[in-house]
Chain A
Amino acid sequence: MARLNDDAQWIVLMGFLVSFSFFFLALVINQSTIVGQTTAESVIEFSKNDIRDIRDVIITNTTLSNLTVINNDITNISLSCKSAVVYYNNEDHFIHYYNGVTRYNERNWTV
């Protein structure tokens, strides 16, 4: 080694600090994409409207003449169009809804 020059060691150290801080900032920005996506997706996939709608159509139509056929309508169409298992019973006042992610059970509803 010809000549040891130990000037400006602090500046070199600061350079390291800055480069590392940029690295961590990049990590944070990278994570923020996933955070926004999963939050919005979980909200949009939560079947709030489906459950409200199916509960509404069941409990506001308890006086029709052919309830058994309508029960079959709702059960079959839910399975084929919504991929949701629906079971309900007008006598026991019982509703079961499950779409593989969200499960909803209600007993003894009152109109």
Chain B
Amino acid sequence: MVKNDNGQLYTIEGFAAGLIMVITAYLVVNATSVYTAGDTHINDMQLEALGSDALRMMDIPINATESDNRHSDLRTIIENSQFDTFRIKFLDYTNESGSGPGHDIQFNASYTCRDDSSNDVQSVQMVNSRNLTGGEHTVRSTKWVIVDIGCPPEASRERAVLVEVLLWRD
């Protein structure tokens, strides 16, 4: 074996340079984003905010001082059980339908009221855009609404109900 120890320093330098290049490439590739499993919650957060905003828009009266328009859309929908109107408006507000680019959002809406005599809390199914199968990854948006309805079997009166919407993407 020929003992030749020339160029050891060059070899070390070569390795060091290679290392620097690898680390640089690693930093550059990772600088844009590291999408981890936990980041999916950010999408949930945005979906929940979208649902809350849509419900809030529906619960704002057109003109609170006019007797014809002083009740919000959401109140009128619940009082008259116009649940198809709810579906149309909600899908419109969440950009699922209507003009422009659409989302792929599905929802299931219900409201909860309280029977004053027995203090029972009961939920009433309103409408959905697709049946829940249990496999969906849903988020929940809610809105308090003052409505004048009966909460079976109790008679009609002005009451506070909680509208709950489960939202999910296909």
Contact = CB atoms under 8 A, between A and B. Distances in A.
A72 B114 contact: yes
A7 interface: yes
A73 B52 contact: no
Interface string A1-33: 000000110110010011001000100010011
Interface in A40-75: 40-41, 43-44, 49-50, 53-54, 56-57, 61, 64-66, 69-70, 72-74
A65 B158 CA distance: 9
Contacts of B45: 40, 43-44
A40 B160 CA distance: 31
A81 B164 contact: yes
A85 B139 CA distance: 21
Interface string B35-53: 0111111101100110010
B15 to A, nearest CB: 5
B44 to A, nearest CB: 6
A37 B162 contact: no
Contact of B114 (A35, A66, A76): A76
Interface in B139-167: 139, 141-146, 157-162, 164
A70 B8 CA distance: 85
Given A40-B45, A81-B164, A56 B144 contact: yes
Given A49-B52, A73-B160, A81-B121, A11 B12 contact: yes
- Helix, strand, loop or mixed for chain A's interface? helix
Given A43-B45, A44-B41, A70-B159, A81 B34 contact: no
A66 B15 contact: no
Contacts, number: 115
Interface residues of B, number: 42
Contacts of A108: none
B119 interface: yes
Interface of B: 5, 8, 11-12, 15-16, 19, 23, 26, 34, 36-42, 44-45, 48-49, 52, 112-114, 116, 119, 121, 139, 141-146, 157-162, 164
Given A53-B142, A54-B144, A64-B158, 9 more contacts: A7-B8, A14-B15, A33-B37, A49-B142, A57-B146, A74-B144, A77-B112, A77-B113, A77-B162
Interface of A: 7-8, 10-11, 14, 17-18, 21, 25, 29, 32-41, 43-44, 49-50, 53-54, 56-57, 61, 64-66, 69-70, 72-74, 76-78, 80-82
